[in-house]
Amino acid sequence: MPSPVGPYRSHVRAENFVFCSGQIGLASDGTLKDGFLEQFRQAMVNLESVLTEAGAGLGNVVKTTVFLVDADHFSAMNEAYANCFASSLPARSCVIVKELPKGALVEIEAVAHLG
């Protein structure tokens, strides 16, 4: 899992919830993956690592927010997202933004329930 790109923690546990900071497609060596789908997949790998560190997994996720810099990636994101959460789809918001840290094309944050 790459280091955070700012002064924050990767996750916070509160009661029976884990609040995960947004994850972008940075590989463990700190380089940004090429292309939207590669960045999306790496962001999900990073998110899963954060959840595992907190004692949870993707199956515990109850809410996500996905940030995209290009609305044209919405369909590809939907397809890849559905594959990641095949067993239980969490609630989700998707926001189109002007830009993301490090020039990323996608960022994903999540809330997981541990109870």
Contacts of residue 3, defined as CB under 8 A and 6 or more positions apart, other chains included, come to 30
Q: Which of 94, 97, 106, 112 is catalytic?
A: 94
Angstrom distance (rounded) from CA 69 to CA 72: 9
Query: Which residues make Cβ contacts (< 8 Å) with residue 72, sequence separation at least 6?
Result: none
Catalytic residue status for 94: yes
* In contact, 106 and 43? CB cutoff 8 Å: yes
CA 43 to chain centre: 5
* Contact (CB, 8 A) for 54 and 11: yes
**Which residues are designated catalytic?**
94
